[in-house]
Structure 1
Amino acid sequence: MAKYKKEPKRFDQINVIPFIDIMLVLLVMVLTTATFIKQGVIPVELPEAKASKKEELKKEINVYVNSKGEMFLDKEKLDASQLKKRLSQISKDQTVVLRSDKESRFQDFVTVMDILKSLNHEQLYIITKE
């Protein structure tokens, strides 16, 4: 009797079911761990910074500059002179948080910074995305 060799099994197709299972598990993990945080009331697209550090902020004043160059103090729309007048009424130790849209003109950002510097505000945070 002659011994017959078995032919090797051919791989004509790939079983994708385990791959789909793994991808679904990863998708579920991402969706369950994702947090959705509302940044603020005024819609601004924040620029990115690599060397940023999150800190706990207490009693903060929010200054927004949107993509059109409009300035807001908390929710109130102001021009540069009104903003300076309102910021002069707050304490120098008060934390000021600046959220400037990445599409806004750099001059608008510099205007707000100049106002804060002229009023000797040193508690300033510039918010960016990581």
Structure 2
Amino acid sequence: MDEEPIDTLNVIPFVDIMLVLLTIVLTTASFIATGRIPIALPQTAHAETNKQKDKTIELAVGGVIYFDGEQVTKDTLTEKAKDLAPETSFLIRADRAIQFQQFVDVTDVLKQLKFTRVAVQTQNAAK
């Protein structure tokens, strides 16, 4: 058997595969960085936006709860929120020094009333 050792290696297919992989990585990396696919939405001259205002729940130190600026208890919060539409969105602003149980109690009230649009406001740390 007269086999010759391979002296050369054709690297062109490897380069093609690497370029395809590089293209895939760069495409997905830009999608992951933005978190959404950029699209240009159609525009209209007479657009009517029905932007609902968030209901705000503020949790202060000492167990004080404010619902849209009015001081309430957990029970009155339940009564006021019961009359709202299920699509209502809530913004919870909690002081960092409150007990975690107070936050859990408020979110439990919203969960029992079947509200799903709940956001927690945070602040960026100063660099």
Report the secondary structure of 2:90's partner residue. strand
The equivalent residue for 1:109 is 103
2:58 to 57, 64, 72: 64
Q: Which runs of 5+ in 1 are unaligned?
A: 1-56
Unaligned runs of 5+ in 2: 1-50
Distance in 2 (alpha carbons) for counterparts of 1:128 and 1:69: 19
* Secondary structure of 1:81's aligned partner: helix
1:73-114 CA distances to partner (integer Å, 9 max, x unpaired)?
011111100001101111110111000110011111000000
Give secondary structure in 1 for the equivalent of 2:103. helix
- For residues 101 and 89 of structure 1, the distance between their equivalents in structure 2, rounded to whole angstroms, comes to 27
Q: Which amino acid aligns with 1:95?
A: S
2:98 match: secondary structure: coil
SS at match of 2:52: coil
TM-score, with structure 1 as normaliser? 0.55
Select the residue among 105, 110, 113 that pairs with 1:119.
Answer: 113
For residues 4-83 of structure 1, the aligned pairs below 5 Å read: 58-83=52-77
Number of corresponding residues: 74
The percentage of aligned residue pairs carrying the same residue is 23
- Give the deviation of 1:61 after TM superposition: 0.3
Q: Which has the higher helix share?
A: 2
Q: Which residue of 91, 94, 99 maps to 1:100? A: 94
TM-score, normalization by structure 2: 0.56
Give the 3-state SS of the residue equivalent to 1:72 in structure 2.
Answer: strand
Counterpart of 1:108 in 2: which secondary structure? helix
Q: 1:69 is paired with a residue of what secondary structure?
A: coil
Name the CA distance, whole Å, in 2 between partners of 1:101 and 1:119: 24
The Cα shift of 1:58 comes to: 3.4
